[in-house]
Structure 1
Amino acid sequence: MNLATLMACATCSHALTEHRHGSRLGFRHPVADEEHEVVPVDAVHAPQVFNRCHTCSGELPVWNYRTGLIQVMALDVGAVATYNDHWHVCYACAQHIEADDVGALTDRCASFMRWRRGSTEYVQLNLLHRGIVLGREGRTLLTTTRWPAARIAAEMLPKVRDRFTGLLGSPVDLPTAINDREGRQSLANQLDLAPMYWINEEFTELVNAVSRNQPPARLSEELMPSSAGLIAWPGAVGPGQLAAVSWTPQFDGWQLLGYRSIGSALREDLMPALRHEIGWLLPAHAEHVPRRGALDGSHPLGPLVTTWLLINQQMAEAVPAKLPKGTTKAYQRSNRPAPDVRIVRIKPRNSAPGPRSPQPDGTRSRAKPDHRYWVSGHERQQAWGPGRTLRKPIDIQPFLKGDESLPIKLSTTVRVLGNRTAVRDS
Structure 2
Amino acid sequence: MNLATLTACATCRLALTEHPDGHGTIYRHPVTEGRHAVVPVDADQVNDVFDRCHTCTGAPPVWNYHTSLIQIAVLAAVETYNDQWHVCYRCAQFIEADDSEGLTAHCAARMQWLPHHHEYAVLRALHRGIILGRESRTLLTTTDWPPARLTADMLPKIRDRFTGLLRGPAHLPPHLNDPDHRRALADQLDLAPMYWINQEFTDMVNEVGNDQPPAAVTDDLAATPAGLLAWPGPVGDTRQLAAVSWIPHAVGWQLIGYRSIGGTALDDDLMPALRHEIGWLVPIHAEHVTRGTKLDGRHPLGPLVTTWLLIRQQLAEAVPAKLPKATTRAYQRHRRPAPEVRIVRIAPRGTTAAPQRGKAGEGSTRAKPDHRYWVSGHDRQQPYGPGRSLRRTIEIAPFLKGDEGLPIKLSTTVRALGSRGDDRTRRTDQ
- State if a TM-score over 0.5 links the two structures: yes
1:23: how far off? 3.0
Alpha-carbon distance in 2 for matches of 1:267, 1:217:
43
Is this contact kept in 2: 1:149–1:260, CA < 8 A?
Answer: yes
1:130 alignment partner, one of 128, 131, 135: 128
Deviation (angstroms), 1:224 = 1.1
Distance 1:392 1:186 in 2: 39
Measured in 1, the distance between the counterparts of 2:261 and 2:219 equals 31
Would you say 1:109 and 2:74 are equivalent positions?
no
Distance 1:301 1:25 in 2: 26
Which position in structure 2 is the counterpart of 1:344?
Answer: 344
SS at match of 1:26: strand
Deviation at 1:379, TM superposition (A): 2.8
1:228 & 1:31 partners in 2: Cα distance?
42
Q: How does 1:381-396 map to 2 (within 5 A)?
A: 381-382=381-382, 393-396=393-396
Give the alignment of 1:247-266 within 5 angstroms.
247-264=246-263, 265-266=265-266
The one-character-per-residue Cα deviations of 1:248-285 (angstroms, maximum 9, x if unpaired) are 10110000000000112111111000000000000000
* Partner Cα separation in structure 1 for residue 411 and residue 338 of structure 2: 45
Could you say which residue in structure 1 is the equivalent of 2:14? Answer: 14
Whole-Å separation in 1 of the counterparts to 2:352 and 2:282: 45
Counterpart Cα distance in 1 of 2:349 and 2:213: 25
1:83 aligns with 2:81: yes
1:383-413 Cα offsets, whole Å, 9 max, x none, are 6678878765432100000011101011359
TM-score, scaled to structure 1: 0.93
1:130-169 to structure 2, matched below 5 A, reads: 130-169=128-167
Q: Which amino acid aligns with 1:174?
A: L
Counterpart Cα distance in 2 of 1:214 and 1:183? 32
Greater shift in the superposed pair: 106-115 or 354-363: 354-363
Match of 1:289 in 2: 289
Q: How does 1:270-281 map to 2 (within 5 A)?
A: 270-281=270-281
User: In the alignment, residue 130 of structure 1 is paired with which amino acid?
Assistant: R
Contact 2:55–2:87 (CA under 8 A) maintained in structure 1: yes
> What is the distance in 2 between the residues matched to 1:142 and 1:35?
26
CA RMSD of aligned residues (A): 1.8
Partner of 1:420: none
Note if contact 1:218-1:395 (Cα within 8 Å) is conserved in structure 2: no
Unaligned regions of 5+ residues in structure 1, if any?
A: 414-424
Could you give the per-residue CA deviations for residues 339-384 of structure 1, whole angstroms, max 9, x where no partner exists? Answer: 0000000011235533436569452222111110000001335566
Supply the distance in 1 between the matched residues of 2:385 and 2:71 (Cα, whole angstroms). Answer: 75
Query: Could you tell me which residue of structure 2 aligns to residue 24 of structure 1?
Result: 24
Whole-Å separation in 2 of the counterparts to 1:161 and 1:32: 38
The SS at the match of 2:175 is helix
Give percent identity, aligned residues only: 66
Q: Distance in 1 between matches of 2:40 and 2:393?
A: 47
Counterpart secondary structure, 2:225 = coil
Aligned length: 412
SS in 1 for 2:374: strand
